[in-house]
Structure 1
Amino acid sequence: MSATPMAVQTRPFAIEPFTNVMLPDGIFDNALYKLRIACHYTNTSGSDLTNVTVYLESVGDPGIVVTGQTYTFARIPAGASVLVSWAADFQHASPGKPLVSFVARADGFTSARTIRQIFVSQTRYDETTKTYSIQIPEGRLELSKVTVVPPAKGEWWAGEKPDGEKRKPWHGPYVPTGCTLVWVPNPAYPGTHGELPFEDPWWKVLALIILVIAAIVGIIAAAVGAGTFHVGIKGEFEETDPGVVTECCKPAPGDVLKGGLTVAGVAGVIASVALAVALSDEADPHWRGQEATPPGPGELTVGERVEAHWKLLDEPYAGKPYRTEVRWSYERTTTGGVYHHQVAEEQTNIHVTDEVKVVTPDTVTSPGTLWVRSTFTRPDSTLFSGPDLYTFVLFRAPQGLYFLVPLTDDGIGFDDSASDGVYTGGLRLREALPELKKAGQSPYGIWKVYVFAQDVNRVAPGTPPQIAAQTIGGFFVASAVQIAFDPNLPCPLEAQSSIKVV
């Protein structure tokens, strides 16, 4: 028999399980102990596969402890990509690129193994120097002097713990408008360019990881508490831009821990991404600064420094081409001298959707099924499809209980056809009724529907680093929560649809 034609074709990515958001570019960081190793597993054949089993066999770093789980599929259509994920503990993970082995087997075939790398970093915060640092094999990036647009209305509060104790508030989201980045290469290098981080993303992606982790740590600390992240990570910023504040909705009353953490997490990612937009997708200030400051013969680069400040010309709405006006300076320190380069320019978010459509039934009779069909159209009129997105929906019951459901384009279950650009998910009320009853809530009334989608980095393994770095994943291209700067505007958390249950 031949091997099962199933493969993980692109790099697996990290999902933070409390907020359900993907980390920037899918990179794992051991500051967050609990993460999910997620991937799209693809039927690479031209025929449907039956009785398929999929499992994660092993991880090359013994410090990463995976909770075993086997997925079974009665049928996976030809060409379809199914989303699977495994819970893992990264507390003792080492920075690097460990290999992960996945195994799939279908009727009529032998088992097939796919081996892929994941990227693991280590973020810490030094209270004495007020500096974040992120460690990877190629060196260390230090982030300091972060200026932010602060939130307008004080704090986000996750309610009380089961024992009645009040949880710590989170004061975000914070929209960054400037920072200082210091790169310490390991080792010092000759020539114009050093190694890219993980031989893949730009340095700015590491800075984005730091900001997102800070946001997530603040959110988790507010809702869950210690034991889930490194206690040395700070979730707030002190240097603020004067005269501007963000207006971001707090989670609606109800099941705050299930839905509210996701809403807060999405807001934290959307806010943090302003840094990545300002510092360009095509090539970030480190690479461009290196290009403009070639060192002399025999010199080794021992350190690099970028100071950047930007103004958001538009509100940082997810999926919209908002603009930033940015000034940055680059400094290269070598064994022979110091080199400088400066740039002033305008940058625009390129992680956008031209249209997001959300279709639901108008009315459902209990205990029927609530379903959602969503399409996400790019500016060139093509649809995101299949493994292009990591997307999910929050159903909010009339009295506040949240239910999170993945949206997939795999031709399985609620989805009619694989990779046709229609992402589908459903909630069977019969299965939701016990949770509603436990919370003292009823299914009858108006259910709100909130759809979220992040783009996935689909660059094929083996792509040259400078080319691979130009594709970044983890940006929200669709979101029900947005960040506004005008406190007089209505709350920007908006349901894309509603369903009446009778």
Structure 2
Amino acid sequence: MAITVPTRPFASDLITGLMLPDGIFVTMLGKQNINLQVQNAGGGSVAAPKVYIESVSHPAIAYSPGTRFLPTLPAKAVHVEQWLADFSQCPSGVHHISFIVEDAAGTKSRFIKKIFVMGVAFDPTTHTFHAETPQGVLSVNFLDLVRPARGCKNTQPAPDGCCGHKRREDPRSADELAHDTSDRRLRGLNRAKLATGNLTALFERLGPSFEFCPPGYLPHVVEMAWTPTPPYAGQYSDLPFEDPWWKIVLCILAVLLLIAAAIAESVDGSGDVVVGGGSGDTGSPVGDCCGVRAGGGGTSPIAAGLVAAAAAAATAAAMSDARDPIRRGQDATLPGAGELTMKELLRVELTYPEAVALGRPFAARARWDYKRATNAAIYEASGNDLNHNLHVTSSYEIDAPEVVASYAKDGEWVIKARFRDQDGNLFRGAQLLVQCFLVGPQGQSAKLLLQDDGSLPDEKPGDGTYAGRRHFSQASAGLWRYFVIAQDVNHATPDLKPEDAAQIIGGMVVTHQLTITFDEDDCPFVPDGHVMVV
């Protein structure tokens, strides 16, 4: 049997449905989907294979068992499957999952794949995230965010808060309880836990109809401290998980920040609980970007996901895929013989000379100051870098009917999409995770995985057409909106050296649903199409 698993299994969260940066699992999110790509690398078809999780390397990975019955896979076909798992109690580190793929003849193949799990905690007294990896802990304080020029209400300036809430003098007290929230399901919760506890569990209590209204959109000023475990000799430390740059950890924290702040702000205006508290005035660019309008009804999780994706893309772009500022700082600071590096500090100011457009090659600047503290001396370096987003599509086409008859036996709605990279070449198969998010007239929501596997409704494997289908019931009649969101997949192979693997990043949105501008009141946030269900 010529079945392979070409990529590392990757995480997608249950709040937005999107893949996390570089597919890393995060304890703070609790329940997440394990996504697995299965490929037929042979020259002939594999009839009706099935796949299941045999075991996990740590008992704290609480997964939902289940056999996935795949369609017949033609040669070169790639098919994506998902399993739900809870990582809230899983220790940080590199773990492994054993998958069994069995063909129709009963021949079994075992694939033991590594995954990365990052432990994340939040200290409400210092407003600091702590991200734990096997190689050390990265502590991050978001001192300031780029904020919308106006609040979520058109008549409301951003500094006064949004979602109809007036800012408190200190909404970030660690022991303040949310007694005054209008949502009874969330009353009595500690505000810090409201913003940064098990986010998936909080979202399940709140529901997808919350009003999207975070206090800011893009990181502006960030302070980081890397504490290696153990202190190390020489010029260079190990990379987190011996794979991604430190900036990927920062991208993940930016995603968590935006999601947590959006949920907290929706409840009682306490979204700033996760922002601020740094070492001084940041020169905040308050009021210098557009606002995203998403008033619940199923669109808020999509808006939250896309704004979080924009924050991750902007951070990744400014801090360079080739070599991030912490590694650049290590390049420029050679410790003396016998010295041990105890801690590394980085302060970075991110600025955006042009609109931050998902899937476009926008520019972003990082002005950074780095310090290396050894057991004998302090070494410093700085930089001012202008970089561009590399996670782009030059164009994409979506083909789907505008009307579907729910009462007809053949009333199946089929959607197909094709995506081209910056050179005009089609993305194919395992290169992308493609999902279609639908929002119904009554706030209903649905999600489809689009496959390039040659099984219906897809016509040919690996040809760059990703397809999915859905049957609508008569109860779902009305106008539905849909968003087709594609994310690139980390294709680094196990034989790559860590610094080479670090330059290959996945989980970035490459489609064009959101642009954060700096000269308009409203950010362009539009669906890819509509379908009328009759």
**TM-score, structure 1 as length reference:** 0.88
Aligned to 2:28: 31
Aligned to 1:83: 80
Once the two structures are superposed, the pairs formed by residues 381-420 of structure 1 within 5 Å of their partners are 381-420=424-463
Aligned amino acid, residue 270 of structure 1: A
User: Deviation above 6 Å: which 4+ runs of structure 1?
Assistant: 159-166, 222-225
Aligned to 2:38: 41
Aligned to 1:230: none
Aligned to 2:526: 494
In 2, distance between residues paired with 1:243 and 1:224?
22
Say whether residues 1:450 and 2:483 are aligned partners.
Answer: yes
Once the two structures are superposed, the pairs formed by residues 188-199 of structure 1 within 5 Å of their partners are 188-199=231-242
- Cα 1:397–1:55, aligned 2, differ >3 Å: closer, same or farther? same
In 2, distance between residues paired with 1:293 and 1:253?
49
Aligned amino acid, residue 433 of structure 1: Q
CA shift, 1:31, in A, is 1.0
- Check whether the contact 1:48–1:78 (CA below 8 A) recurs between aligned residues: yes
CA shift, 1:270, in A, is 1.5
Aligned to 2:249: 206
Secondary structure, counterpart of 1:209 in structure 2: helix
Secondary structure, counterpart of 1:282 in structure 2: coil
In 1, distance between residues paired with 2:107 and 2:358?
44
- Cα 1:197–1:331, aligned 2, differ >3 Å: closer, same or farther? same
Secondary structure, counterpart of 1:288 in structure 2: helix
Aligned to 2:193: none
CA shift, 1:163, in A, is 8.0
CA shift, 1:457, in A, is 0.6
- Check whether the contact 1:373–1:423 (CA below 8 A) recurs between aligned residues: yes
What per-residue deviation string (whole Å, max 9, x for no partner) do you get for residues 106-144 of structure 1? 023521000011001111111222211101110010112
CA shift, 1:479, in A, is 4.1
Aligned to 1:374: 417
Once the two structures are superposed, the pairs formed by residues 103-142 of structure 1 within 5 Å of their partners are 103-108=100-105, 110-142=107-139
What per-residue deviation string (whole Å, max 9, x for no partner) do you get for residues 230-250 of structure 1? xxx955557782343433433
In 2, distance between residues paired with 1:261 and 1:170?
8
In 2, distance between residues paired with 1:481 and 1:463?
34
What per-residue deviation string (whole Å, max 9, x for no partner) do you get for residues 432-489 of structure 1? 435x2xxxxx34xx43332111111111123110000001111110142333333445
CA shift, 1:415, in A, is 1.1
Name which of 282, 285, 303 aligns with 1:263.
303
Say whether residues 1:295 and 2:293 are aligned partners.
Answer: no
In 2, distance between residues paired with 1:98 and 1:425?
32
Aligned amino acid, residue 504 of structure 2: T
Say whether residues 1:465 and 2:508 are aligned partners.
Answer: no
Return 5+ residue gaps in structure 2 as ranges: 153-161, 165-180, 188-204
- Cα 1:468–1:234, aligned 2, differ >3 Å: closer, same or farther? farther
Say whether residues 1:50 and 2:47 are aligned partners.
Answer: yes
Aligned amino acid, residue 485 of structure 2: F
Aligned to 2:218: 175
CA shift, 1:145, in A, is 4.4
In 2, distance between residues paired with 1:74 and 1:284?
42
Aligned to 1:228: none
Paired residues, what number?
478
Aligned amino acid, residue 391 of structure 1: V
In 1, distance between residues paired with 2:264 and 2:287?
26
Aligned amino acid, residue 58 of structure 2: D
CA shift, 1:32, in A, is 1.2
Secondary structure, counterpart of 1:63 in structure 2: coil
Secondary structure, counterpart of 2:49 in structure 1: strand
What per-residue deviation string (whole Å, max 9, x for no partner) do you get for residues 10-50 of structure 1? 11111101210111100011111111111211112111111
CA shift, 1:53, in A, is 0.9
Once the two structures are superposed, the pairs formed by residues 221-236 of structure 1 within 5 Å of their partners are 235=274
- Cα 1:460–1:223, aligned 2, differ >3 Å: closer, same or farther? farther
Aligned to 1:350: 390
Aligned amino acid, residue 340 of structure 1: E
User: What is the identity percentage for the equivalent residue pairs of Structure 1 and Structure 2?
Assistant: 32
Once the two structures are superposed, the pairs formed by residues 150-165 of structure 1 within 5 Å of their partners are 150-151=147-148, 152-154=150-152, 155=162
- Check whether the contact 1:38–1:85 (CA below 8 A) recurs between aligned residues: yes
**TM-score, structure 2 as length reference:** 0.83
In 2, distance between residues paired with 1:399 and 1:126?
39
In 1, distance between residues paired with 2:510 and 2:247?
19
Aligned to 1:283: 323
Q: Give me the CA root mean square deviation.
A: 2.7
- Check whether the contact 1:49–1:76 (CA below 8 A) recurs between aligned residues: yes
What per-residue deviation string (whole Å, max 9, x for no partner) do you get for residues 319-366 of structure 1? 011111221111111122111111112111111111121122244333
What per-residue deviation string (whole Å, max 9, x for no partner) do you get for residues 220-264 of structure 1? 567899xxxxxxx9555577823434334333553x2xx431332
What per-residue deviation string (whole Å, max 9, x for no partner) do you get for residues 403-452 of structure 1? 221212111221111111111122212xx435x2xxxxx34xx4333211
Once the two structures are overlaid, the 10-residue window that deviates more, 264-273 or 61-70, is: 264-273
- Cα 1:355–1:24, aligned 2, differ >3 Å: closer, same or farther? same
- Check whether the contact 1:271–1:483 (CA below 8 A) recurs between aligned residues: no
Name which of 61, 66, 70 aligns with 2:67.
70
In 2, distance between residues paired with 1:299 and 1:163?
54
In 2, distance between residues paired with 1:29 and 1:494?
29
- Check whether the contact 2:182–2:267 (CA below 8 A) recurs between aligned residues: no
- Check whether the contact 1:190–1:301 (CA below 8 A) recurs between aligned residues: yes
Name which of 473, 482, 489 aligns with 2:515.
482
Aligned amino acid, residue 475 of structure 1: M
In 1, distance between residues paired with 2:495 and 2:283?
41
Secondary structure, counterpart of 1:182 in structure 2: strand
What per-residue deviation string (whole Å, max 9, x for no partner) do you get for residues 193-212 of structure 1? 11010000001111111111
- Check whether the contact 1:11–1:461 (CA below 8 A) recurs between aligned residues: no
- Check whether the contact 1:278–1:326 (CA below 8 A) recurs between aligned residues: yes
Aligned to 2:366: 326
CA shift, 1:399, in A, is 5.0
- Cα 1:184–1:324, aligned 2, differ >3 Å: closer, same or farther? same
Return 5+ residue gaps in structure 1 as ranges: 226-232, 437-441
Aligned amino acid, residue 225 of structure 2: V
Aligned amino acid, residue 306 of structure 1: L
- Check whether the contact 1:252–1:400 (CA below 8 A) recurs between aligned residues: no
- Cα 1:218–1:363, aligned 2, differ >3 Å: closer, same or farther? same
In 2, distance between residues paired with 1:374 and 1:385?
11
